[in-house]
Structure 1
Amino acid sequence: MFKKTYIILFLVLTATSVLAQVQQRANATFELKGTVRGKEDFTPISGVQVSTDKGSYATTNALGEFKIKAGIGDLLIFESTEFETVRHRITSDEDISVQVEDYTSNSKSTLQGSRSGPNYTSYLDSAEHYKKIDIEKSIDFVAQSISALGNNPNKTALAKSLRSLGEIYMYHKQYDLAITNFKDAQKAQKNTKTSLGLAEAYIKTGEFEKANEVLQPLLKIRKMVPYQRIQLYEELGDSHKGFGETSKALEFYQEGLKIAQKNQVSPKVTDLNSKIADTYAMANREIEAEGYFNNSLKLSKQETPARAIQENEKVADFYNRSNRYGDEIQLRKKSLNELRQLPKKAVAKNKGLVDADSITSQRINYKIANAYIAQEKLDEAIPYLEKSIVEADSEDDLIVQKDATRKLSEVFEFKGDFAKAYNTYQNYVALVDTLYIRKEQEIARAARLNREIAIKQNRISSLEQERELSQSKYSLALTEQQLFEENNKRQKWIIYSLLLGMLLFALAAFFYYRSNRQQKLANNLLALKSLRSQMNPHFIFNALNSVNNYIAKSDERNANRFLSDFSVLMRTVLENSEEDFIPLAKELELLELYVKLEHSRFPDKFDYEVNIEKDIDINSFDIPPMLLQPYIENAIWHGLRYKEEKGFLKINVAQLTNELLQIEILDNGIGRKKSAALKTENQKKQKSKGMGNIRKRIAILNDMYKNKVAVSISDLQEDKTGTKVILKLKKD
């Protein structure tokens, strides 16, 4: 009995162990190698798209070889325009060989004769290799592949080279050149893959009508590989979405999704779910949009980490548009964590002009901060803005650094921390200047690159034209001269266009700068006028108090005399009220008249003296009207008036240098500290308002005229009695 139990237990454990090993082996991924050849004569087939149902991709080279990441149990899918789609289930990690029936070196899809020998294929392979890293080398290899075809090329081979050139330009966002080469490829030989590339280029340039014209005939093609059928419906959806026909776009996206799910093309399943969601969002159908976005999020996790992060950010943008800032922040934080786990790649920096579509840590932090700001959570937003600025600085991403710095300045200003807001805004201004320089450099680099690309494109065009010339009846010499002139005109047109573009950009920048300066000047002048208009009633009110004092004492003679002098003073004040600056001599006359009036009111409280150095050319200095009067008024009313014994007011005018004048207002009154203790609440408010206006006027004047006026106020004596006001005035 016990022996049977042990035997059964042993068998169970053994079976469990074997199943675990099988399962572990099935879940493991490895690099699978293989070849694709024709069955009849073992001809290598290049350009075959090899994919798995888990999303891995590869393409066969000139020898028909490929390498792909896969696992046991995965489904391999072989797609090409040269044969029907082939599927193969992986059962081991051994190399595989796929043999295609009815494919020989003599078939119409095969490149014929020595015109398309090994050199041609190797040139195209090299062009594909350099496509993402060096556009000039890539174009050179395409040109060499076309040269290798000779003067009477195989149409299929020529179309393939021109299509490769179009794909290179598409990758580098040179869509106009891509369209030109796709069209040339279509002239050589019509091909579904070329038509799809041409339609995609039209969509990128916003020419949706032309894209639709290219795509509609493809719907009639019955035999089309699934991947291309999916791409066809996807691009039709894109073009109708561009028209704003969301219902049509959804129909095509849904058709593409069905085929992608049926053929287990995982990346396209994710992409189409995302595009359907985006289209629903565009139509303000947020419930449906969220459902498909949830699908795309789940599916993207089964692909590469980078694809998952990309989808996270897309859905986060959707949450942002829907004002769901909490969900947006949560998803972006998740993107940040996943981004940190990605291996760092050596990415060539573009001198501060990082691609606006790229997903980086600094951009995500900036968007998180904006979401917090939208919820008025400023304290939570500040750390993310600061982190975004630091990361953008280390990555030389000037655009994000500029935007985050400006946003941080606005947050500090809203919180009332004006010192930090000012310092941060200065940093923002410096970044704008740096970015402007970088933009100019980028325009110059783009101009050089466009010229070089144009030369290489002209070389390829020349190859095409030379072949046409060899088959024509026209003189070779005459045609070469025409080609030279045409190329020369094209290069000149490109150069003139770039120069015109740079000139327009410079003019726009100049007018923008000038407009800003004029607006700022207008605002400052308006503010000065407003402050002056506030000073005049304040001064008149205080002067009328003096008249009222005489009337209260029934001193008619002194009241009349005071009113006479006061009318002269008021006429002068009103005459000067519309001026930004008046001669210093006028201001001093006005001050002496004002002090005389106040002395006549308080003869027992103070005496005064006005000293002007003999060598001073006071007519060469200008001063804002009513700038000194409030300081003298403060000296009399708040310093000397409360002094028990008779005080003294002294006004000294001295020239420090040819360009700098100093005006001192000295009083031996009770001092600022004691005066503040004696004031009523109303008096405190009145002083604060009067002196506040003076400070604002000085700040605006210094901003407009580069520190024209400087004022310092201090105690005259060490015991805090008396007050000394020093005003320094620069010559214009």
Structure 2
Amino acid sequence: MKNYLKILSFLFFSCFVMPSIAQDNLNNSAQKEQHFIINGLVKERENNQPISNVEVQVFGQPITRTNPLGEFKIKVKKGDELVIKHEDFHTVYYTVINDEDITVEVVSSNIPTEAYYNNQRTAQAYKNALDSVKKYKKIDVEKSLQFATEALAKSRSTQQNAKAYEIIADVYMQWKQYDLSISNYRISLQSKQNNEVVLKLAKAYNLNKNFSQSIQTYLELPVEDLTNLQYIMRFEGLGDAYTNEASYVEASKSYNRALKRAETDSITPKITDLNSKIAKMYMKNGQIEQAQSYFGNSLNLASKENKKRALEETVTVADFQHTNRAYDNEINLRKQALENIIEIENDTVFDNESALTPQKQNYKIGNAYYLQKDFDSAVAYLERSVKEADDKEDLVVKKDAKRKLSEVYSSSGNDEKALETYKEYTEIVEELYIKKEQEIVRAAKFSRDISNKQNRIKSLENERELSESKYQLTLERNKRQQLIIYSLIGGVLLLCILAYLMYKYIKQQRLANNLLALKSLRSQMNPHFIFNALNSVNNFIALNDERTANKYLTDFSFLMRAVLENSEEDFIPLQKEIELLQLYVKLEHFRFQDKFDYTITVDNAININEFKIPPMLLQPYIENAVWHGLRYKKDKGQLNIDLKHVSNNEIAITITDNGIGRERSKALKTPNQKKHNSKGLSNIKKRVAILNNMYKDKIDVFITDLNPKAVDVGTKVKVTIKKD
């Protein structure tokens, strides 16, 4: 690694220091002083407004100009004098003493220039446009978006940009275009982070039914950075999203945290809202008693606020009582609501979409009486609902009230009146159908208009980004062109060298790791083999066959010496492996003479001295054939080992046995044997994988059943070896 560090140091010096020295010599401007880049800001002293297009220059150097935010960058050295010029103020001279950023505060000339007036007019136009957006937000979406577009065009800072997009998103929220509000809130946050906007974005996700995204956005807000009200809104919003997601346990936790803070800070409206929301959450979850308790709290609290809030909560609780089939309570609450509506309507106009209209409350009272089978009272209130709906051109409620009247008449036995009312109902349905068609056409046009407005807003943002990019690119190009060229060349060279060194290092590490893994696997193979062989010797001793045991040990010692000699090698000559196999199969046959015969056939076309093979590669397959296939065969089996010539660079070694097969062998295993996987075969698979990775697919192993249709299925192992 020390050599690598020396090489990198040399490359760094060659790529960055030497070109700089050469360039200085070419320009005949070798200096003892060192140049550096300083950042600056030019602004008015009186109102801290940045000034754009100010000329900043060092004598003999190109002119630099401030950007729309009053910022500039310039290459200088200690002692240089900056000349700062603009038609709106007297020229300023500034001497550079160090490399720190500078702020230049200027005083406007006595006679304001046209540029000054233009800046002032632009700022006022931006403010006026935003005020107009707020004015038309609730009454005319097209006008509000038109003024928002004008505000964006007049924006002169990222802060103004962020505010404009926030207000545009507010407009879309007002008109329930939640997907568009999400897009604009996100653009606003890209310009400037603002916790208030993040809360609005999370709410928009919730209203757009992106509940998981809403929850994630709320959770990403750091609690310690929030105001008391923002803290409450965060956990209230989380409760809303969890409730919509039917995660009632999490919703309860979030609502209660918000409620606890609201009670601590005595924020009465939020205490009322949260009691109502907790009640609704319990109602959705089927916990009626808890819902009843919290609705009682919310109704009591709302009655202490303004009349409209009390009315809203009264209607909400009445809906709950209807769901709970407490029709007497529902009727009393709705009658109370009707009295409050009459009082409030003098100051407030409810549109037909509101739940607080008298026609809807009369309809619901009539429906409650109908469910109690008090048909006379039901008729009275339903007829009032029809009259109110007719006066206010509310066809939806009028239709529902007529249909319900028909049902009431029918249930009370007045079939003639029921039929007459039903005909009136069908006429209203047809009228409503025509109206809905017209509304659909208007909605489509509304959607197209809004889409066009949003496209215009997006094009403005793209134009702004493009203009800013061009300006910055032009500003930096002249000052940094040489540095960029030399940096790129040096960086590419350095990266190439680093990549090459890393490649070599990784390759060496991989090779070392593979060699270590092979050594480890070989070290596992030898004890495994020795253990199995010693079991055979132990069997002969147990049978008091000392002569056979001694003869077996003699042959075994020859085999062990050969195995240990080859244990450090990745590959050995094929000839040696054949000799080891012959000796090993001889030992196995010596023990199981009555179980199998064997043949080892070597194709004469194979030059056994040219091919190399991993040591102990074939032994586990032969061991498996004998111990798990042939040993359990009722009659005498056959083991064949064939080495065949495939091509000058490839041979195929086939090990076949007509034993009981793999499936039956597994079935014969004892419970204790099933707990232990075959170490030999497992190690061979790992060794083959590592060797193929190191030597590019040198060895292939395929294991199949020899004769699937026979009683003794047998096993066939085919090992293909390629020459380097």
TM range, smaller chain: 0.3 to 0.5
Taking structure 1 as the reference length, the TM-score comes to: 0.47
Give 1 or 2 for the bigger CA radius of gyration: 2
Taking structure 2 as the reference length, the TM-score comes to: 0.48
